[in-house]
Structure 1
Amino acid sequence: MKKIFISLFISIKLFAISSVEELSWENGKTLLDFLQDHSISLNLYYNLDAEDKELSAEISSGVKYQMLKDEQGELEQVLIPISDDLQIHIYKNIDNKFVLNFTPISYTKETRTLYVKINNSAYQDVYDESGSVTLARAMVRAFRNSVDFRKAKKGDSVVLIYEQKRRLGKLFGDININAALANIREKEYSVFLYKDSYYNAQGKELENFFLTKPVQYTRISDRFTRARYHPILKRYRAHLGIDYAAPTGTPVKSAGEGIISFVGNKGGYGKVVQVKHISGYMTLYAHLSRFAKIKRGQKVKQGQVIAYVGSTGMSTGPHLHFGLYLNNKAINPETIVKIPKSSLSGKSKEEFLKIAKTYENRLQNINEDFINPPKEQNIENFMEF
């Protein structure tokens, strides 16, 4: 009900708004910086509780956000996504004062199918046919460990069944390829998405990226949760990572091989290290007491000490907040912290095989006579009403 009310409120306010501008969040910018830049009271941030201050640090560099202005060019509302499901909503109330809330993102889901005959390269042909770089990248990730597209010849084909989101009329967030089939040199390769990992038709995992636990901990004090409505607090909350409780000074190790992409302070997360890995993955280590001898751009090995547990930022006690992101989208670290290339068994395998069989039938029925969905069009980032 609240989600409907928020959407209705935005729609009503739009009648008094003359323009909506879409911008990209600058690298290193914090919510406090944004409020200061637009002469909005900093108390909107300082009055947040510890969890919400931490959550505000989840704004990703490059994320698209919207600023809604009235006919005089005065700011009325701001929508800043912090995940695929949750956003910061800043708006003027009936007293003409700015208010900050965390609200669910209103979007529509679309399940689509694309058939592509290879003429140049699989990546380029998928982009040319769909108009979506995100889809082309998702295809590469799905087939990364099963198909070498460099061996493809003209006339080979790819079929993708995928799910995408649309927000404010534009594509939003990442694209999930649920199933795909590649015909390369008269040989078929199929992949299926199951619980954030790709498997072949027999239920064998195809991912070669895996993580180890980054710290020796006493307990898990908080687990990963997406946007959810808190019935007591009567507002939306999320926790986009795992909290490992451990004594101050406990060594924090890189969960995987990669390159240090950030070392420094990050709002409610306090002292933070970020590591970029292969295939679009990134890990975040927060609330650190101090850093090891590392610097941005440095290569690190899996298990290498990069920092030490602390309680900096908005923290109630010493612990490591460990976040995992795929193409800037927060995902549950527990799906990747495991042994590599495992095979499904038991009830999980039974469930997977049913899903795979359904998709397999759909994939096999798609051929060159299939009519693809309309190509995505670029939309200007400034719209007049």
Structure 2
Amino acid sequence: MIRHVFLLFLTAAALWSAVVERKPWPSGESFLRYLEHKGLPQKLYWDLEREDKELCEEIRAGVPYYEMTDDNGTGLLQALIPINDELQIHLKRNAEGGYDFEMIPVAYQVIEDSFALPVTRSPYQDIIAATNNRKLAHAFVDAFKNSFDFTRLRKGDIVAVAYKEKMRLGRPYGLPSIEAAMIKSRKKAHYLFRYHDRYYDEKGREVEGFLFRKPVNHVRITSRFTLRRWHPVLHRYRAHLGVDFGGRTGTPIYAAADGRIIFAGRLGGYGNVIKIRHRDGFMTLYAHMSKFRRGMRRGRYVKKGQVIGYIGSTGMSTGPHLHFGLYKNGRPINPLGVIKVAKRTLYGKKRKDFIRYAEGMKKELGEAVAQNRKPLRLDDLSKTRYCLDDEALFCDINATRIGG
């Protein structure tokens, strides 16, 4: 179905000499304001179900989105606006001159690579020099920062990396994922493995360093986190970029970690919202609050466990609850994978599965070192236009002109 949608895009582009532009989503722009700026009916937003209204508040400033417009000046024909790395809004002008709204998957390819490099300056600088990929260098350093002291490295030490990266239309999409990595310093190898979205050493001990507490006490989870899922009854894609905790109006809400408030106010379908920026690129969001605790305003520093507000039902809400969102470097992650009292150590079947996985990845890294395997360069990858069936619109440059 998705394939046919985009093939229709291509036909429309060819017939109408349409132009496709790639743009960054403006800072402070809401989906409602976008509709207003484009002269589109705001009924498109108000007719959405509650979950889709909430998702419209998740569009990130700076995220690349695509618009198809007609050379003849008839305005917007179609638009693709990512909500997260997996799901995007598709707006399309219909035969009656109105517009249709749907959520569809984001099409991308996953590149897998492994390589080894001698340390000449620092892992960060050496990875950039070899790959021209700053995000990959940052991901490597970020993964090891809680388990290795980089000041111990000497010239000639070895780093090895196995990673995955999404590519969309010949461009990196999202953040690279370090699957396994090794630093060999003073003849000793230090390993790190990604397992179920968490990092562990070779003995199955977690190496994450930042812990969050639950934002509410003694309440039940009413909706869990998902980036993308197909609803078997509604026959469409859904997502929920946080965890909902059901509770009585007025139940205290606590800051999940130390940080500084960067937003306190109304935010569309999320109602009363507080956003807190934490260290290591984390940000938390607390939505549908009945009210804020006195003094909670932008710029205020709060401590972990400090009351910041109270459960409510403001915005697009069917009952009192807290929608709790957690973001790393601007991207939503599952809060339930981070909220805990102490670091984890794997036991039983999970540990056996992990050891088996880690041994395979250690072999991959060892081969990269033995073969002196060089990394893929980002500029070489970007020269290739990945023409996916459901992205045919953007691949046929004879039918469209791609700007931005």
Greater relative contact order (CA < 8 Å, ≥ 6 in sequence): 2
What per-residue deviation string (whole Å, max 9, x for no partner) do you get for residues 241-276 of structure 1? Answer: 111011111111011122212212222111111112
Report the secondary structure of 2:103's partner residue.
strand
Partner of 1:302: 304
Q: Quick one: which amino acid aligns to residue 52 of structure 1?
A: D
Q: Give, in angstroms, the shift of residue 310 of structure 1.
A: 0.8
Q: Quick one: which amino acid aligns to residue 50 of structure 2?
A: A
State the distance in 1 between where 2:10 and 2:355 align: 44
For the Cα contact (< 8 Å) 1:208–1:340, is it kept in 2?
Answer: no
State the distance in 2 between where 1:278 and 1:252 align: 20
Partner of 1:331: 333
Tell me whether 1:383 sits opposite 2:383 in the alignment.
Answer: no
Q: Quick one: which amino acid aligns to residue 192 of structure 1?
A: F
State the distance in 1 between where 2:172 and 2:121 align: 26
Report the secondary structure of 1:376's partner residue.
helix
Q: Give, in angstroms, the shift of residue 17 of structure 1.
A: 4.7
Unaligned runs of 5+ in 2: 384-400
Find the partner of 2:376 among 369, 373, 377.
373
Q: Quick one: which amino acid aligns to residue 366 of structure 1?
A: A
What per-residue deviation string (whole Å, max 9, x for no partner) do you get for residues 113-133 of structure 1? Answer: 232322222112212222222
Q: Quick one: which amino acid aligns to residue 344 of structure 1?
A: L
Q: Give, in angstroms, the shift of residue 224 of structure 1.
A: 1.2
Q: Are residues 10 and 359 of structure 1, via their aligned partners in 2, closer, same or farther at CA, if it must alter by over 3 Å? A: farther
Q: Give, in angstroms, the shift of residue 168 of structure 1.
A: 2.3
For the Cα contact (< 8 Å) 1:217–1:244, is it kept in 2?
Answer: no
Partner of 2:11: 12
Q: Quick one: which amino acid aligns to residue 356 of structure 2?
A: K
State the distance in 1 between where 2:281 and 2:373 align: 31
| Structure 1, 71-80 or 295-304: larger mean CA deviation | 71-80
State the distance in 2 between where 1:130 and 1:65 align: 26
Partner of 1:341: 343
Superposition map of 1:85-96 within 5 A: 85-96=86-97
Partner of 2:231: 230
| Structure 1, 66-75 or 330-339: larger mean CA deviation | 66-75
Q: Give, in angstroms, the shift of residue 18 of structure 1.
A: 4.1
For the Cα contact (< 8 Å) 2:227–2:240, is it kept in 1?
Answer: yes
For the Cα contact (< 8 Å) 2:115–2:372, is it kept in 1?
Answer: no
State the distance in 2 between where 1:235 and 1:117 align: 49
Give the TM-score normalised by structure 1: 0.94
Q: Are residues 94 and 116 of structure 1, via their aligned partners in 2, closer, same or farther at CA, if it must alter by over 3 Å? A: farther
Superposition map of 1:207-218 within 5 A: 207-218=208-219
What per-residue deviation string (whole Å, max 9, x for no partner) do you get for residues 316-335 of structure 1? Answer: 00000011112222111111
For the Cα contact (< 8 Å) 1:220–1:242, is it kept in 2?
Answer: yes
State the distance in 1 between where 2:329 and 2:9 align: 29
Superposition map of 1:174-185 within 5 A: 174-185=175-186
For the Cα contact (< 8 Å) 2:249–2:310, is it kept in 1?
Answer: yes
State the distance in 1 between where 2:186 and 2:301 align: 38
Report the secondary structure of 1:51's partner residue.
helix
State the distance in 2 between where 1:348 and 1:311 align: 39
Partner of 2:265: 264
Partner of 2:67: 67
For the Cα contact (< 8 Å) 1:7–1:106, is it kept in 2?
Answer: no
Q: Are residues 341 and 98 of structure 1, via their aligned partners in 2, closer, same or farther at CA, if it must alter by over 3 Å? A: same
For the Cα contact (< 8 Å) 1:214–1:252, is it kept in 2?
Answer: yes
What per-residue deviation string (whole Å, max 9, x for no partner) do you get for residues 80-134 of structure 1? Answer: 1111111111121233322211111111111112323222221122122222222
Partner of 1:114: 115
What per-residue deviation string (whole Å, max 9, x for no partner) do you get for residues 13-55 of structure 1? Answer: 3434543222222232210011111111111111111111011
Q: Quick one: which amino acid aligns to residue 29 of structure 1?
A: E
| Structure 1, 103-112 or 12-21: larger mean CA deviation | 12-21
For the Cα contact (< 8 Å) 1:280–1:327, is it kept in 2?
Answer: yes
Q: Are residues 13 and 164 of structure 1, via their aligned partners in 2, closer, same or farther at CA, if it must alter by over 3 Å? A: farther
Tell me whether 1:364 sits opposite 2:363 in the alignment.
Answer: no
Partner of 1:78: 79
| Structure 1, 186-195 or 30-39: larger mean CA deviation | 186-195
For the Cα contact (< 8 Å) 2:12–2:18, is it kept in 1?
Answer: no
State the distance in 1 between where 2:64 and 2:320 align: 33
State the distance in 2 between where 1:183 and 1:11 align: 50
For the Cα contact (< 8 Å) 2:117–2:372, is it kept in 1?
Answer: no
What per-residue deviation string (whole Å, max 9, x for no partner) do you get for residues 313-359 of structure 1? Answer: 10000000011112222111111111232211011111111111110
For the Cα contact (< 8 Å) 1:217–1:245, is it kept in 2?
Answer: no
Partner of 2:387: none
Superposition map of 1:233-248 within 5 A: 233-248=234-249
Report the secondary structure of 2:379's partner residue.
coil
Tell me whether 1:285 sits opposite 2:286 in the alignment.
Answer: yes
Q: Quick one: which amino acid aligns to residue 48 of structure 1?
A: L
Partner of 2:153: 152
Tell me whether 1:27 sits opposite 2:23 in the alignment.
Answer: no
For the Cα contact (< 8 Å) 2:115–2:365, is it kept in 1?
Answer: no
Q: Quick one: which amino acid aligns to residue 323 of structure 2?
A: H
For the Cα contact (< 8 Å) 2:228–2:239, is it kept in 1?
Answer: yes
For the Cα contact (< 8 Å) 1:229–1:235, is it kept in 2?
Answer: yes
Tell me whether 1:195 sits opposite 2:214 in the alignment.
Answer: no
